[in-house]
Homo-oligomer: A and B are copies of this chain.
Amino acid sequence: MSIYQDIKEQAYRANMQLPKLNLVLFTFGNVSAANREKGVFAIKPSGVPYEELSAEKMVVVDFDGNTVEGDLRPSSDTQTHAVLYKNWEGIQGIVHTHSTFATAWAQAQRAIPIFGTTHADHLTVDVPCAAPMEDDMIKGNYEYETGFQIINHFKQLGLSHQEVEMILVGNHAPFTWGKTADKAVYNSAVLESIAQMAVLTQQINPHAPKLKPSLIEKHYERKHGTGAYYGQK
């Protein structure tokens, strides 16, 4: 048995959640699960249908994107995952999908306004949308640079990757992350729901105001603050 069995199992199970949550068509998505002590993550092999996946087929890669274990080619987005793990402390799961509503916002190059408490239960700001990359970044090591495009956008906006666990990459699609692969998948599903509600909100009322600061704070705090009272202890 692999010494990476734990993260291979985690990555496998988390990947299999994507079709169940209607977040992917065919193979248009991938999840990774990291072990920070060993400095590696397990990720979906590229272009393999979900029904043919198994924990054994997960590819183990280090934080520089080099394959450590596995016969298959890792996801084409592996370098983006590697850059995020290497630069962002504490995250142990990353998800990339082309889920319908979140991708539509990315294609529209618009951050998703914080319109309600469903949004505020998870983050206190608009869902950020990074600009499409410069041409030289695209022509270079594209997926590697995508990681930096995400990190730089967070720096620009002064956001913490531990408080905001999702982003849209302009013209492309969403990335989410979290302390575990399961949490990152959870964030992808939440993002898709927020994205759908926000389109509808603007259609119902083109002048819909954003949530006011007191409500943003209250909802976020009750789930994530020091006095959080959502969920079990």
Contacts and interface: CB of A to CB of B under 8 A. Distances in A.
A13 interface: no
A116 B99 CA distance: 13
Contact of A115 (B107, B110, B205, B214): B107
21 contacts: A25-B190, A26-B189, A26-B190, A47-B230, A48-B232, A76-B230, A101-B200, A103-B116, A104-B200, A104-B204, A107-B116, A108-B205, A110-B204, A116-B171, A132-B215, A133-B215, A139-B214, A139-B218, A171-B211, A172-B215, A202-B203
A118 B173 contact: yes
A100 B197 contact: yes
Interface of A: 25-26, 28, 45-48, 72-73, 76, 98, 100-101, 103-110, 115-118, 132-133, 135, 138-139, 142, 171-173, 186, 189-190, 193, 196-205, 208-209, 211-212, 214-215, 218, 222, 229-233
A141 to B, nearest CB: 11
Given A142-B218, A173-B116, A76 B45 contact: no
Contacts of A232: 45-48, 72-73
Contacts of A105: 204
A212 B132 contact: yes
B116 A106 contact: yes
